Amino acid sequence: MFFNGAGLDAASKRYIGMVPQDDVLLPTSSVEEAIAFSAAIRLPPHYTVAQRASMVSELISDLDLGTVRHARIGDTRRRKGISGGERKRCSIAVELAHRPKVLLLDEPTSGLDSSGAHQLLKLLQTLAASASVAVALTIHQPSSRDFSLFDKLLVLSSGKTVYYGPRCEALSYFKALGHQCPPYTNPAEFVLDLATGFEIGATQQQLLIDRYLATPAAVQSQESVTSLNAATTQGAGSGQRGRRSSPRKAGGAGGGVGGEGRLLCPCPPLL
């Protein structure tokens, strides 16, 4: 995995936020306390107390958590607390507290009803545009209106890519391969059925994988990854030679991150 054309290191990881599928929140703390604690320990030291408090209030407002600001988070077993959708939005706010450039989410809509899932995805779309954050998430059963919110789409079949590109071009791509989406069908379900081979069989499923590998997008992506891997290997070798010749200079800082962060990996994220 590369960030801004370089391998991940301690300096670049702080520009990435990760929201796991299972919320990791202290049930005895309030929503505001959880976000404030994340901001206190993860923001750079030059942020003042007032600036951190202002950021926490802004996140609570942006993520529509104002009505549960002072409510205990609770859990599903012992302590009553906020709802599942509010808990998920709180987890997102905790990660956004350190102002990441990239936000990764593992199945954020799991456990939510269709309305809650759509509201969450709509919120993520708004945050991506307003806060200039690249949002990537995995999702298994999006509704048709959720599917329409995606900018880019990555479809995997047994861990291998069968499509990566603009969401609006996915159906035309599969149509050109002889698989047309039937009318009144959820396009997300149609694409997932193709990826699993449920409707087309194992032979056609493998053919989809082989066809994608021959597309210009796949070739360009592989060339980029190969080039970056070579550059990283060469840089690591130079660094080792430098350390042998000047051992006291081995503790240099990693490269910085520019204003427009890019996340590049062999299998790009979904959104």
pLDDT number for residue 236: 59
pLDDT over 70 percentage in the chain: 82
Cβ contact 54:88 at 8 Å: no
pLDDT number for residue 237: 59
Say how many C-beta atoms besides its own lie within 10 A of residue 32's C-beta: 20
Q: Looking at residues 92-114, what average pLDDT do you find?
A: 90
Q: Tell me the C-alpha distance between 57 and 67, whole Å.
A: 12
pLDDT in tens, 85-97: 899 999 999 999 9
Q: Looking at residues 44-70, what average pLDDT do you find?
A: 92
With 70 as the cut, is the pLDDT of residue 249 above it? Answer: no
Q: pTM for this one?
A: 0.78
Maximum C-alpha span of the chain = 68
Which pLDDT band, with edges at 50, 70 and 90, does 175 fall under?
very high
Cβ contact 67:60 at 8 Å: no
pLDDT number for residue 233: 72
CA atoms within 13 A on the CB side of 252: 11
